[in-house]
Chains A and B, each alone.
Chain A
Amino acid sequence: MMTESHPKHILSIMVDNEPGVLARIVGLFSGRGYNIESLSVSEVDSDRFLSRVTVVTSGTKNIIDQIKAQVRKLIPVHNLIDITELKSFIGKELILMKLDIKQKTVLEIHKHIKNIGAKILFEDKTVIIVEFSGTPIEISSLIKKMKVYNIVELTRSGLVSMALGKDYIRR
């Protein structure tokens, strides 16, 4: 039903940080056959127990409208905004990458890391752990470039995103 040709939508959802709230959102997507391309969630307001969920999804306009209406119906959902519909926005992911270092390549890796503005979090004789944040495209291209070295493991977060300008999410 959903193909690549449909534009991606970044939905930012403010919810009560209570048990099961993520299950409600994820269950709604799976139960109704919607697509989740990326998901990230964490508490953002510890005084009011609010979490912010960012879901990247895709679909026809009707499906996206339906997703928004269905999510807004969930009782713990305070607000939902479609960030992709706002004028401009920033979207970033975080990646941690563990690289196998051999004497030959370590200098080259260091140089590479410096060039792209990534950070070294850990280093010993065998491995190096690199942190980098960027747009999904930048991250994917980083992974591609680093493939020439020996990537031991990697993990990347879901997208977090914010519109420019005023506060859209709090009502």
Chain B
Amino acid sequence: MMKKLSGARIVIEALIQENVKVIFGYPGGAVLPIYDELFKQNKIRHILVRHEQAAVHAAEGYARSTGKVGVVLVTSGPGATNTVTGLTDAMMDSVPVVCISGQVPTHMIGNDAFQEADIVGITRPCTKHNYLVKEISKLAESIHSAFHIAKNGRPGPVLVDIPKDIQTFETKYGGKKHTKSFAFYKPNIKPSLDTIVKFVNLLEESKKPIFYVGGGVINSGSRASLYLKKLLEITGFPCTQTLMGLGATPTSDDQFIGMLGMHGTYEANLSMNKSDLMICIGARFDDRITGKVSGFSPKSKKVHLDIDASSFNKSVNVDLLIQGDLSKILEMTLKYIENKRISFSKEKISAWWIQINKWRAKNCLNYENSKSIIKPQYALQRLDFLTKHLDPFITTEVGQHQMWAAQFLTFNKPKHWMTSGGLGTMGYGLPAAMGVQIAHPKDLVIDVAGEASILMNIQEMSTIKQYRLPVKIFILNNHYMGMVRQWQELLHGNRLSESYMDSLPDFVKLAESFGATGLRVSKPGEMDDLIKEMIKIKGSVICDVVVDPKENCFPMIPSGSSHDQMLLGPNDKLEGEISEEGMVLV
């Protein structure tokens, strides 16, 4: 006979059934029964963060580097509201996260009770779905559904809010198999062969094709990456990747022509602009990618492969759309090509490659190096050169350093690049790196940071100390919120309103106070030694890399402009004023 279990125990049992090994959380009054059950078992490891936002980012890092669901446990009220930024981040970047929050007991809900917040109401727009469990009989079903929803279709965060009385009530729990059917959510549509045929026909006809690859390929799993790599080989087409897509196929491939978008390469953006066939795979025509929509790739036919129907024709109309899991679509495409013995003539696209290589020759990522001051680009080039062989996991904060990292680092494997793309959350990188390090204890994990962003979740140094996480923090310290300053220089008459970072901590001493090693470098000649030492040190390291405070991030498509209106360097001037339309864009 099935034994009756408390709600809190059912939560733990259900997590075990979902194969959860780690949860990131912070206890409080409304989740004490669950924490009590956590104490009594040893199958799930709990990582105590220092702020609930960091718990979600850590879960995101864990999820994005493993492909598994990241799990968060927080208390009601402030514990729950602190997760909102993290949940929104996971929503924007399609990261599977399940967040369990405590809630005041059911009879107190709506009474403005102590530490009560309507978290289901608050998170409705920033979760894929959420549940308020009002009856113990619905508890197991809600948790298993949450996992099912978080990881199927386009992944995303799901919140389960559990009132404290529900945690103490008892009911029978027969495991996942015996839990009432929850799986009517079946978003994985099988693409029709018709559309695959049309797709291959377009590939065959094109003289100026380009693959535009996004994070959806990484979310679809390693098979999708393999199939895409194969398709690239067969066709010989050029490939650009979005910020989220970096590493979907190796960025050291010759067919890879750099990231595209606002800070993308000249060759990638011009190829998009001049192409006759754009194949968008698991990306969503974000405003950072398209620039001015009316000037976006005006002459190309556009194909869009995605699992999410709401991404189709949202900002850019496409000619052929194929909905489904990308690995399935790509597999069917390859099979069709193989069965029909279709071969792609490299001659047909040779003129296109000549053109692309001309653009490439511009060497748009070039910068003026210095012997006396460290250029941030140089620091990252050296970091890349000296760590590439270790296939490091890279996380970032948000700003100039993030764009430089995207431009200058090599990503040869998927799931090795964790950055806040959609939401642009400063403070993401450090907690995300913790989550990655927990999942990959033996690997090199580096948070490429700026001195402003890192302070937004610096309290997590305490978590890093507690769990002896050897996370390396590589701060490009320019004493400015660099991207803010760059926009102020470009668009606001160089009035640097509040973007200077005064009163910074001594990062070396800060590292030491948390039991980590602090290293500082300010001369280009000492860069390599610093990086080598950082790798050698077993524990966590904060590297304070003092860089040129005035360096800006190029290439750049100013807001409201299109791909063929790029600024390639500091000496490139804007053509006329930025339009009023452009000024209001973010």
Contact B132 A66 (CB under 8 A): no
Q: Which of A76-105 contact B (CB under 8 A)?
A: 78
- Distance in Å: Cβ of A20 to nearest Cβ of chain B: 7
- List the A side residues contacting B124 at CB < 8 Å: 20, 23-24, 27
Smallest Cβ-Cβ distance to B121: which chain A residue: A23
A69/B149 in contact, CB under 8 A? no
Main secondary structure of the interface of A (DSSP, over half): helix
B310 touches which of A20, A31, A69 (Cβ 8 Å): A69
Q: Which residues of A contact B184 (CB under 8 A)?
A: 78
Q: Which of A62, A69, A72, A78 neighbours the largest number of chain B CB atoms within 10 Å of its CB? A: A69
Minimum Cβ distance to chain A for residue B5 (Å): 25
A70 to B185, CA, bound (A): 15
**B310 touching A75, Cβ below 8 Å:** no
Question: How far is the CB of A155 from the nearest CB of chain B, in Å?
Answer: 27
B132 near A20 with CB under 8 A, answer: yes
Interface residues in A18-34 (C-beta closer than 8 Å to B): 19-20, 23-24, 27-28, 31
In the assembled complex, the Cα of A73 lies from the Cα of B314 at a distance in Å of: 14
Residue in contact with A72 in the complex, picked from B134, B149, B309, CB distance below 8 Å = B309
Contact with A along B359-381 (1 / 0, CB 8 A): 00000000000000000000000
Cβ contact of A73, chosen from B120, B310, B313, B317, cutoff 8 A: B310
CB distance from B207 to the nearest CB of A (A): 29
* A27 to B125 CA separation, bound complex (whole angstroms): 7
Q: Judge if B302 is at the interface, Cβ distance under 8 Å.
A: no
CB neighbours (8 Å) of B185 from chain A are: 75
Is B411 an interface residue, CB under 8 A from the partner?
no
Q: Is the CB of B313 within 8 A of A20?
A: no
Is residue A65 contacting chain B, with contact meaning CB distance below 8 A?
yes
Cβ of B172 under 8 Å from chain A: no
B:568-585 near A, CB below 8 Å: none
**CA–CA, A69 and B185, complex, Å:** 15
- A65 and B313 CA atoms in complex are apart in Å by 8
Q: Mark B304-316, 1 if CB is under 8 A from A, else 0.
A: 0000111011100
Interface centre among A24, A73, A78, by most B CB within 10 Å?
A73
Name the A residues within 8 Å of B121 (CB-CB): 20, 23
Cβ of B263 < 8 Å from any Cβ of A? no
Nearest opposing residue in chain B for A61, CB measure: B313
Query: Considering the chains assembled together, what is the distance between the CA atoms of A162 and B149 in angstroms?
Result: 31
B292 within 8 A of A: no
Chain A residues, Cβ within 8 Å of B308: 73
Interface centre among B125, B185, B310, B312 (most CB of A within 10 A): B310
User: B132 and A31: CB pair below 8 A?
Assistant: no
Q: Are A66 and B128 in contact (CB under 8 A)?
A: no
CB neighbors of B among A37-88 (8 A): 62, 65-66, 69-70, 72-75, 78
B310-339 contacts to A (CB < 8 Å): 310, 312-314, 317
Inter-chain contact B317/A69, CB cutoff 8 Å: no
In the bound complex, CA of A31 to CA of B134 (Å): 26
Within 8 Å by CB of A69, from B125, B128, B129, B309, lies B309
Q: Does the CB pair B317–A75 fall under 8 Å? A: no
Contact partners of A28 in chain B: CB under 8 A = 125
Which of B120, B184, B308, B309 has the largest number of chain A CB atoms within 10 A?
Answer: B309
Chain B contacts for A78, CB-based, 8 A:
184
Whether the Cβ atoms of A75 and B129 lie closer than 8 Å is yes
B124 smallest CB distance to A (angstroms): 6
Q: Are B128 and A20 in contact (CB under 8 A)?
A: no
Closest CB-CB distance, A2 to chain B, in whole Å?
A: 17
27 A-B pairs (CB sep. < 8 Å) = A19-B132, A20-B120, A20-B124, A20-B132, A23-B124, A24-B124, A27-B125, A28-B125, A31-B125, A62-B317, A65-B312, A66-B310, A66-B313, A66-B314, A69-B309, A69-B310, A69-B312, A70-B310, A72-B309, A73-B308, A73-B309, A74-B129, A75-B128, A75-B129, A75-B149, A75-B185, A78-B184
B: which residues have CB within 8 A of A?
120-121, 124-125, 128-129, 132, 134, 149, 184-185, 308-310, 312-314, 317
